[in-house]
Chains A and B, each alone.
Chain A
Amino acid sequence: MLEIDIKKRLRDFDLEVNLRVKAGEILMLVGDNGCGKTTLLNLIAGLLKPDAGMIALDGRPLFDLNRKVDVAPEMRNIGYVFQSYALFPHMSVYDNVAFGLRTRKLPKKEIEFLVRDHLTGAGLWEIRNARAVDISGGQKQRVALARALIIEPELLLLDEPLSALDVRKQAAMRRDLRERIHTCGVPSIIVTHDLRDVACIGDRACLLEMGRVVLSGRAEDAVSWCAIPSAGTGET
């Protein structure tokens, strides 16, 4: 269970979010560009610091202003898939996936076993020696996801995981993504601006506007949100 109740002053508006995500639940975060979606993910991951409030994961506080808790991002154990995947360009696919295990100083044998397992599962074992910059967009997405999942995160954050793929691949990837995330059984937040993603992948959906959650409901209902004028265009 992820609990968020934070405030952060941004350049154009104040981000003020109060959210709960249950274990195994996929929350889709929808909204226009610049509404604070990525900022919210960075706040949860600890890459940015909230001005006030608290973030707790399974009862463990990650950030709490009153109790002066601010866990460093490397200690939060959160799997984060970045918008452009942020695969390390100087490393092979194998080294990218192994990175999170090496920072945890796992024994070499165990790293080899786990990486092999994850790469085979994602259909990437054949390209393990390719440099991360030389592979296709779909492969990059799977490497980024494998890299985030191999550390057995307690929370998954995905920032526009499908936006870099061409439209034809997106449909297949949506199903794939939902399956993979569901098998982890951890709370997940996926940021998207594509309402088609919402119903296909998510369980629940939130619409973020100017840093506030303005609509919230079941993922299936999100498709109808675009009929609401303020949801479609934003009131900016």
Chain B
Amino acid sequence: MAAGSQSARIADESKHGLFMASDQAKINYMIRLPEEGQEVTGISVRAKEIALKVGPAILLILAVAFIALPVVSLFIKSPMDATIRSLHDPVVMDALRLSLMTSSLTTSIVILMGTPVAYIHARFHYFGKEIADSLIDLPVIMPPAVAGIALLMAFGRMGILGHYLNAFGISLAFTTLAVIIAQVFVSSPFYIRQARTSFEDVDRSFESAARTLGASRTYTIFHVILPIACNGLISGAIMAFARSLGEFGATIMFAGNFQGRTQTMPLAIYTAMQGDLDVSLCLSLILVAISFLVIALVKTLTRRVYKNAGN
């Protein structure tokens, strides 16, 4: 009985509330009706709102179109059959093979040398760390042509170090090894930077927990820290791979432009453009496809990293 009467009371109250609301609406309506000017200001407010939305939209479309148009043009302007035919061109094949080979080797070297450096920089302080940090980042800002000359001055036949190597009959400049050296030089900061932030994101308590559970420093690094930082490291490695794949300036200065030996894809594109545009287009399309793949990979990997960090 008691429960029934209570629910009836609630229903009554809500009905009352409803009346109240509709009454209020009626009153509002009545108040607003006589004022004609209200309608006009309403329109101008709405126009302002639309303008606020349309303005940024136009800007955004312009910006996206500016980047999309050249990429789309590349696809439209390269005839399908000519592109596929160019794939068999020895220039294309040599460049593709050389580029993939050198970039893979570069990425391996960067990972092997860069991971310890990134870890040390994320965890420890030492005298001169700031300077080392700036030096590591320098190749990102340095113009590639300058990097090429700098490498030549260091490892070239007359270079500071190359001078001694030359005495032993070792010549680095204008060899495939020079391509790799140039690529390592320009792409390592991309990996080291990303790896460092990934290591910094690994909470120290995981390290401490592993140690108290009987894990040595090395065991902790391989079984706890590296797996947790893994996604960040991979995305950094992909960025370094992409950067070395696109490397042009330092390579042409330091390694030269010899087909099959030092002519990577960007160099082949540049060279072929003087004669056979189809070859250039074919190579460009391959590089664009790889770029898309790289972006997609890095995006998915970093997204998963953020999800982990949020938990």
Q: Which residues of A contact B (CB under 8 A)?
A: 42, 45-47, 72-80, 82-84, 86-90, 99-100, 103-104, 133-134, 147-148, 151
Contact = CB atoms under 8 A, between A and B. Distances in A.
A103 B219 contact: yes
B208 interface: yes
A88 B214 contact: no
B211 A74 contact: yes
B274 interface: no
Interface string B219-234: 1000110011010000
B6 interface: no
Interface residues of B, number: 20
Contacts of A100: 213-214
13 contacts: A47-B208, A47-B211, A72-B211, A73-B211, A80-B209, A80-B212, A86-B206, A88-B224, A90-B228, A99-B213, A103-B216, A104-B214, A148-B213
Contact of B212 (A73, A87, A133): A73
Contacts of A80: 208-209, 212
A96 to B, nearest CB: 9
Interface in B178-218: 203, 205-206, 208-216
A82 B311 contact: no
A84 B213 contact: no
B308 interface: yes
Given A103-B219, A133-B308, A133-B311, A86 B214 contact: no
A88 B206 contact: yes
Contacts of B212: 45-47, 73-74, 76, 78-80, 148
Contact of B311 (A46, A79, A86, A89): A89
A56 to B, nearest CB: 18
Nearest to A150: B213
A90 to B, nearest CB: 5
B209 A82 contact: yes
A89 B228 contact: yes
Contacts of A82: 205, 208-209
Contacts of A99: 210, 213, 215, 223
Contacts of A148: 212-213
B205 A86 contact: yes
B17 to A, nearest CB: 34
Interface string B290-311: 0000000000000000001001
B208 A90 contact: no
B205 A74 contact: no
Nearest to A95: B223
A148 B209 CA distance: 9
A220 B43 CA distance: 72
Contacts of B213: 74, 99-100, 103, 147-148, 151
Contacts of B206: 86, 88-89
A76 B32 CA distance: 80
Contacts of B210: 88, 99, 103
A146 to B, nearest CB: 12
A148 B205 CA distance: 14
A150 to B, nearest CB: 9
A86 B208 contact: yes
A89 B203 CA distance: 10
Contact of B216 (A74, A78, A84, A134): A74
* Top 8 A-B pairs, shortest CB-CB distance: A100-B213, A86-B205, A103-B214, A133-B311, A86-B209, A73-B211, A80-B212, A103-B215
A93 to B, nearest CB: 14
Q: Which residue, of A46, A74, A75, A78, has the highest number of chain B Cβ atoms within 10 A?
A: A74
A87 B213 CA distance: 12
Nearest to A99: B213
Contacts of A78: 212
Q: Which residue, of A72, A77, A99, has the highest number of chain B Cβ atoms within 10 A?
A: A99
A214 B208 CA distance: 29
Contacts of A72: 211, 216
Given A80-B208, A86-B205, 19 more contacts: A46-B212, A47-B211, A74-B213, A74-B214, A82-B205, A84-B203, A84-B205, A86-B206, A86-B208, A88-B210, A90-B228, A90-B308, A99-B210, A103-B210, A103-B213, A103-B215, A134-B311, A147-B213, A151-B214
